A = this chain, B = another copy of it.
Amino acid sequence: MATARAPRRKPAPPPRTRLDVDERRAQLLALGGTFFTRQAYDEVSIDDVAKAAGISKGLLYHYFPTKRDFYVAVIEQSARRLLEMTRAPDAGSPMDRLRAGLDGYLRYVQENGPAYAALLRGGIGNDAAVGRIVEDTRKRFIKRLLADVGVEQPGPRLRAALRGWLGFVEATAVDHVDHQDVDLGVLREMLVEMLLTAVRFAMTGPQAAGSNGWTPLVAG
């Protein structure tokens, strides 16, 4: 399945094309994105990646000295793509921008499915370097959210609320990858409503909403 993108060429040797260093690197990262999306880290074979790229294993190792280096570079690129896809256009109200950013995020989740879920779940292949990329991406998200509403340094409550909200976002993303049974527009509105509630709580404390109890909500 992982080699599905590689053209079938049984008898003839793979065509070796000359690419400049940046092009080659970009090609390998794109291929890596495909491989690591379709297979678990342990199952990805560097041989297969090199074959699909039409280069020798040695040349691949010239760009990425180890499989781990290659994986970390692929994750880095994927994180950059996530940040790009969630960048809302400058125009529009903060709410429009928020919705546009969340739509971009949910598109990214759709595109990267199991690989993104595996990344968030941790596990094999995820080490300190990968953890730093994930954490750094979260920090950039929060910074962007805060910049959008003109806050530079959030207080403890707002920081905790935004951190919690990101946890909510990521957990529903993993749930969506597993189940795919909630409409993405509905999911986006749920994320919006949760953010508003979290921020409101951080700024003003508990609201009356909390006092109604939650049994009637579920039973009703």
**A residues touching B (Cβ–Cβ < 8 Å)?**
93-95, 98, 121-124, 126-128, 131, 149-151, 156-161, 163-172, 174-176, 179, 181-182, 186-187, 189-190, 192-207, 209-210, 212-215, 217-220
Across the interface, which residues of B come within 8 angstroms of A218, CB to CB? 149-151, 158, 199, 203
**A170 vs B160: C-alpha distance when bound (angstroms):** 11
Across the interface, which residues of B come within 8 angstroms of A197, CB to CB? 193-194, 197, 209
The answer on a CB contact under 8 Å between B210 and A201 is: no
The answer on a CB contact under 8 Å between B192 and A210 is: yes
- For residue A29, give the distance in angstroms from its CB to the closest CB of chain B: 23
Across the interface, which residues of B come within 8 angstroms of A190, CB to CB? 157, 160-161, 164, 198, 201-202
- For residue A49, give the distance in angstroms from its CB to the closest CB of chain B: 24
The answer on a CB contact under 8 Å between A94 and B201 is: no
Across the interface, which residues of B come within 8 angstroms of A201, CB to CB? 189-190, 193-194
